[in-house]
Amino acid sequence: MSISCDWPQAIIGVLLSQNVDLVAHVPDAGHAALIRLAEGHDQIDVVTLTSEEEGVGLLCGAWAGGRNGVLLMQSSGVGNCINALALPEICRIPFLTIVSMRGEWEEFVPWQIPMGLATPKVFEAMHVEVFRATEEQHVAETVDAAGDFAFTTRRSAAVLLSQQMLGAKQFKEG
Residues 6, 52: contact at Cβ < 8 Å? no
Residue 153 sits in which domain range?
A: 7-166
Q: Look at residue 74 and tell me if it is in a domain.
A: yes
The number of distinct structural domains making up the chain is 1
- Assigned domain for 2 exists: no
**Degrees, nearest 5: CA angle 97-102-104:** 120
**pLDDT for res 146:** 98
- In a domain, residue 174? The reply is no
Q: Can you give the pLDDT at residue 1?
A: 33
Task: Examine residue 149 and state whether it is found in any structural domain, yes or no.
Answer: yes
pLDDT of 45-96, one tens digit each?
A: 999 999 999 999 999 999 999 999 999 999 999 999 999 999 999 999 999 9
User: Does the residue 172 lie in any domain?
Assistant: no
> What CATH number is given to the structural domain containing 62?
3.40.50.970
In a domain, residue 173? The reply is no
Residue 49 lies in a domain: yes
Low-confidence residues in the chain, pLDDT < 70: 1-5, 103, 107, 109, 167-174
